[in-house]
Chain A
Amino acid sequence: MANNNAPPAIETNLTPGKPPFWNDPEKRALLFQVLLVIGIFVFFAYIFSNTLYNLEKRGINTGFAFLSSPAGFGIAQSLIPYTEADTFGRTFFVGLLNTLLVAVLGVIFATLLGFIVGVSRLSKNWLVSRIALGYIELFRNIPLLLQILFWYRAIMPMFPSPRESYSVGDLAFANNRGLFIPSPIPEAGFDWTLWAIAIAVSGIFLLRRWARQRQEATGQQFPVLWVSLGLLIGLPGLVFLLSGSPLSWDVPKLAGFNFKGGISIIPELGALVLALSIYTAAFIAEIVRSGIQSVSKGQTEAAASLGLKPNRTLQLVTIPQAMRVIIPQLTSQYLNLTKNSSLGVAVGYPDLVAVFGGTTLNQTGQAVEIIFMTMLVYLTISLLISFFMNIYNKKMALVER
């Protein structure tokens, strides 16, 4: 008799059979992706080799060897030491630093002015808000190039020639060649003052943190602002006096045609920063207004019902919540400002595009390499700005439960 105790064999292999290679959707997707990557790579290799072939056929130099040839031309403003005997590579860095200078100055002034105008636009005072509206509409709608040319051609020539400069106590001079202010020359012993400033700044950060902790624990407020100011001015000042005032000034003097000595701010830089700041501030003002209006009205009413005055409400309640909306748009305005600084070539400001993409390109004839390097620089600057703004964005993001 058959042993019927064992249960019938059950099909335990429940997974479906693996399809063959060419029917498997996963493998197919992988294959197409690999082919696409190879195709893109081949495409770019073709473009690259075609360009090189054509350049060689036309007899145009290729390669980056020109970066170590002597430049031979002068540059009006350079933040690092530069002479005509320096290389083209050095002109690249001079132009880059000039662009960064304009970008940093422009960002600072544009943000300050933009916030002021943006908040004024929402003021209850009819005149103030209309003036802000006029400012925004005027400077937003006129092309930036025209604004730069206006400041350079119409305003700068109103200054007199060097021999008849406006002067402030014979120390600072303003004429149509620029603004000349005395430059500090640190002598031996100035390091102590610098260390004192660094200690004061870190002390201020620690003080703020301690004051906030104390307020959260006991509710008592601490006059952080006045104490910080006193610390910042008092401590380095004390160290400075004790070390014998090791600072002398290089006062600009008229010698022949121009002023020599001191720090000079050329009118091209002034016109460019002024035009860029005013133009971008108009956009930032609208962004700030949109941010403030995005905070729900309930917040303002709740703050008012707690007895907070309007400007305290703005400072403590509205703006911190509005920043979440403002920051991403502010990022794009900063990027715009950095890229718009290349318009300085219209007024003769030696930024990256003018010095490297203009003069160097013309002297060496190697357009492809130079434009490629310039585009890479702007791309890098923009990516860096976006990166830092995104870090700040993440910190300010709403943490939901």
Chain B
Amino acid sequence: MKSATTFAAAGVLAAMFAMPSAHAGATLDAVKAKGFVQCGVSTPFPGFAATNEKGEWSGLDVDVCRAVAAAVFGDATKVKYSPLTAKERFTALQSGEVDMLSRNTTWTLTRDSGMGMNFAGVNYYDGQGFMVSKKLGVDSAKKLDGASVCIQSGTTTELNLADYFRANNMKYEPITFEKSDETVKAFEAGRCDVLTSDQSQLYALRILMADPESAVVLPEVISKEPLGAPWCVMAMMTGSKSCVGHCLRWWKQKTSVWILPISMKRPRVKTQASSVLSGQMKVMRRTCHWTRNGLTTSSSKWVTTANRLSVMLARVLL
């Protein structure tokens, strides 16, 4: 009897150790098996990710998701959106609840290294700014000593704010909320003097206010916020031509179609991916004041950066 029990117990233990540990599979395989891309976007936010009355999503970040779905499946509608607050976005991505995050997330070293995520590109270069009520009569951020500031928790906004005020020897009172619309409500109620966030967010949130004309965005931009997405997307300013070039080459591989920016004087092949992308380009041109005339896709001096980016992308996709 004793030997039987012992053998049974030993067998159970051996089976437990022999079981393979659950491990993270490759994202692309999982997405292909699922049949759609689960995309994390921001809670409704005009210009980047917003729903209309019918529940259809539109915006810059939404277009990125649709472009990825088009690249993987050839069908831009095979994507589902999860609105995530700033607090839950990283844990959702880390745990695999969403496949990618297209959520005006600043690309920082900490986030790229120790959090198990990879940023694959930038789709919007932004900066942090301040919004105050016109009633206060303040015209510069340097005059904000002692002010109460409404912030969204868990963002680079908090850190930049602390650094800026410390560098200028000013004091402030931080009031942190989880969601951006709570910060706007507190700002409108007068709980805080200043609302701080990326400038694109400030302008978007101002549209949602009851009286947009009563608030003014101060001219100071106190940080550089490259908003990226952990997937390869179009970048828009000098220095990221390599990423653009590589993006185009990658899409050519996936969809065997050259997707070209609007301004290039070459005949465009209309596919779903390209129309999504050209729609995205239109949005970017309108909202981001892109003034470049066009992009070259094969320029030798960008080859090495393209190679580096392709290594990075291979890690993400494979």
Contact B162 A153 (CB under 8 A): no
Q: Is the C-beta of B210 less than 8 angstroms from some C-beta in chain A?
A: no
- Given the interface pairs A58-B24, A59-B116, A367-B94, the reply to whether A74 lies near B161 with Cβ below 8 Å is yes
Q: Is the C-beta of A305 less than 8 angstroms from some C-beta in chain B?
A: no
Contact B22 A365 (CB under 8 A): no
The majority secondary structure among interface residues of chain A is helix
CA distance A22 to B1 in the complex (A): 6
Give chain B interface residues in 128-174, CB to chain A under 8 Å. Answer: 136, 144-148, 153-155, 158-159, 161-163, 166, 172-174
Specify which chain B residues have a CB less than 8 angstroms from the CB of A267 in the assembled complex.
Answer: 191
Contact of B159 among A38, A176, A255, A363 (CB under 8 A): A363
Give chain B interface residues in 177-231, CB to chain A under 8 Å. Answer: 177-178, 182, 185-186, 189-191, 193
Q: Which residue of A lies closest to B188 (CB)?
A: A157
CA distance A35 to B259 in the complex (A): 65
Contact of A365 among B24, B116, B155, B190 (CB under 8 A): B116
Q: Is the C-beta of A64 less than 8 angstroms from some C-beta in chain B?
A: no
Specify which chain A residues have a CB less than 8 angstroms from the CB of B117 in the assembled complex.
Answer: 59
Q: Is the C-beta of B305 less than 8 angstroms from some C-beta in chain A?
A: no
Q: Is the C-beta of A177 less than 8 angstroms from some C-beta in chain B?
A: yes
Quote the shortest CB–CB distance from B212 to chain A (angstroms).
19
Q: Is the C-beta of A84 less than 8 angstroms from some C-beta in chain B?
A: yes
Contact A35 B5 (CB under 8 A): yes
Contact B21 A75 (CB under 8 A): no
Contact of A363 among B12, B110, B175, B182 (CB under 8 A): B110
CA distance A42 to B158 in the complex (A): 43
Interface digits, B252-286 against A, CB 8 Å rule (1 contact, 0 not)?
00000000000000000000000000000000000
Quote the shortest CB–CB distance from A98 to chain B (angstroms).
13
Quote the shortest CB–CB distance from B318 to chain A (angstroms).
15
Binding site for B on A (CB under 8 A): 21-23, 28, 31-32, 35, 38-39, 42-43, 46, 49-50, 53-55, 57-61, 72-76, 84, 153, 156-157, 161, 176-177, 255-258, 260, 267-268, 345-346, 348, 350, 354, 358-359, 361-365, 367
CA distance A367 to B117 in the complex (A): 14
Contact of A258 among B22, B94, B148 (CB under 8 A): B148
Contact B175 A359 (CB under 8 A): no
Contact of B162 among A39, A72, A76, A268 (CB under 8 A): A72
Q: Is the C-beta of B87 less than 8 angstroms from some C-beta in chain A?
A: yes
Could you say which of A42, A43, A177, A365 has the most chain B C-beta atoms within 10 Å of its C-beta? A365
How many contacts between A and B, using CB within 8 angstroms?
Answer: 142
Given contacts A35-B9, A153-B185, A153-B189, list 10 more A-B pairs with CB under 8 A. Answer: A53-B21, A54-B21, A57-B24, A156-B191, A176-B189, A176-B190, A177-B191, A359-B176, A362-B154, A365-B116
- Given the interface pairs A53-B23, A258-B147, A359-B158, the reply to whether A365 lies near B114 with Cβ below 8 Å is yes
CA distance A176 to B178 in the complex (A): 20
8 A–B contacts, CB within 8 A, in A order: A31-B2, A54-B23, A57-B23, A59-B117, A153-B185, A156-B191, A176-B190, A354-B176
Quote the shortest CB–CB distance from A264 to chain B (angstroms).
9
Contact A358 B87 (CB under 8 A): yes
Contact A54 B16 (CB under 8 A): no
Contact A348 B176 (CB under 8 A): yes
Contact A362 B191 (CB under 8 A): no
Contact B162 A73 (CB under 8 A): yes
Quote the shortest CB–CB distance from A99 to chain B (angstroms).
16
CA distance A401 to B22 in the complex (A): 61
CA distance A38 to B90 in the complex (A): 36
Contact A61 B191 (CB under 8 A): no
Quote the shortest CB–CB distance from B201 to chain A (angstroms).
17
- Given the interface pairs A61-B114, A256-B146, A257-B147, the reply to whether A350 lies near B176 with Cβ below 8 Å is yes
| Top-6 shortest CB links A-B | A362-B154, A365-B115, A58-B116, A61-B114, A60-B116, A73-B158
Quote the shortest CB–CB distance from A36 to chain B (angstroms).
10
Specify which chain A residues have a CB less than 8 angstroms from the CB of B122 in the assembled complex.
Answer: none
Contact A84 B166 (CB under 8 A): yes
